[in-house]
Amino acid sequence: MKRFLIIGFMAIPALVYGAGHGHGAHQHGVATLDVVVEGNALQLELSSPADNLLGFEHAPKTAAERAKVDQLVKNLAQAELLFNPEPAAECQASPPLVSAPVWGKGGHSDVDAEYGFNCKRAPATIALPIWQRYPGIRQLIVNIATDRGQRQLKLQPGQAISLR
Ligand SMILES: [Zn+2]
């Protein structure tokens, strides 16, 4: 008797397509900020779904959308519009590194930007004018690394980063 052999497909590991640059989960309304404090140097790395900052997440189709993307890249290049270490720390911002959004085929795109500050003393707090400028951000996950260890803050609009 012929037996009909069914060969099962090899289990194919599910491919997880992270949006953007592999920061993992991409959730609209949530942005991530990595904060590294080394002595008096402060490094911030922002990663946000483009939707939080633009209100859309596709390659710009109209002149208005193109203007919005241009404005975003300009704004992100001005650290003081987004992050203000406490004045007492006397921090000097170095030129930020802004990656314009890469329009993903899956319909999701991230925006990344890096900021460096050299301070006279280590700041205890960083105010976040980014909340006012980009109300599309409703939660900021802040990963802090200092010489005293690492921790995570989940901030709501209006809250500042406490580095103590
Ligand atoms: Zn998205």
pTM of the model: 0.83
Query: Could you tell me the distance, in angstroms and rounded to a whole number, from the CA of residue 3 to the centre of ligand 1?
Result: 49
Query: Could you tell me the distance, in angstroms and rounded to a whole number, from the CA of residue 105 to the centre of ligand 1?
Result: 11
Q: What are 3-34's pLDDT values in tens digits? A: 544 433 333 333 333 334 444 568 999 999 99
Query: Could you tell me the distance, in angstroms and rounded to a whole number, from the CA of residue 142 to the centre of ligand 1?
Result: 19
Q: Which residues are found with C-beta within 5 Å of the ion, ligand 1?
A: 49, 57, 108
Q: What are 27-78's pLDDT values in tens digits? A: 999 999 999 999 999 999 999 999 999 999 999 999 999 999 999 999 999 9
Residues 108 and 19 sit within 8 Å (Cβ to Cβ): yes
- Phi-psi region at 29: left, alpha or beta (left = phi > 0; alpha = psi -120 to 50): left
Residues 72 and 46 sit within 8 Å (Cβ to Cβ): no
